[in-house]
Structure 1
């Protein structure tokens, strides 16, 4: 199934690559509900956004007014920030992002906006933050792990039939010398 989705996305991106490219700053763009309009018609083509230094900030593919295909963003220094795929405004396929220092930020997979399979997140220092597993319905299943930014384990449990078994340490109970990750950001 994933190979089929990847092939479909490749074909979509290939077809769209010959489409009209227009800057997001064009005054003829407007958004209404979940559709993007250009000259009062649902837009099909590529929308580009640029930083003040003329470096590309984002490139998004649209079909009939909806995000459809590859969506990419870059930091102002030109380094890739994120790469995501959409089908008619719905997240699909592999989604990746990076911190400005080049370290990977996350790697997710979706099927029609539903999280599936293995999801990973990292701290800016490259240390793993979370590993989460999802079934085809988007429900957590299997091994779930979480770490502090120094590599110490925060949570390590398994989800079976909707129940969690193991070290659930993510309920806010922290040791005397530990600090909340949420408060650091």
Structure 2
């Protein structure tokens, strides 16, 4: 039980660290490449060139409403959607790493020893925070681009596979 509480707390700590980092370094306006197209299409709910874009556009539209009618703030708030999606990706990555490390270090049905718990949590923190501060991921986390939300979808699905696999035995 203590293991689960520590695991959840550290996962949320990774989310908080990533969210603060990405929010503080958020692109305040429009980047030079596809981001302007994505922002304007999300703001007006228009069609863009990406497959899978309708969900991204609806989420972007919801975040653009936080601008309260100030069109100059729309890019900032749609960029915020990517930052929060990326932070959630980091959290699910932490939980994925700890689930895999636990499977490797603990026999089926057993509980990790205190020493193994520390190693598992350290592995999760190192992996998740290394990913948080990696150049490519950070770059896509601070601007309106589909990669942040796509990474979140992949990380949630992979984590759910591990979660369901451990409860179905």
TM-score range, shorter chain: under 0.3
Larger strand percent = 1
TM-score (ref. length: structure 1): 0.26
Structure 1 or 2, whichever has the larger Rg, is: 1
TM-score (ref. length: structure 2): 0.28
Larger helix percent = 2
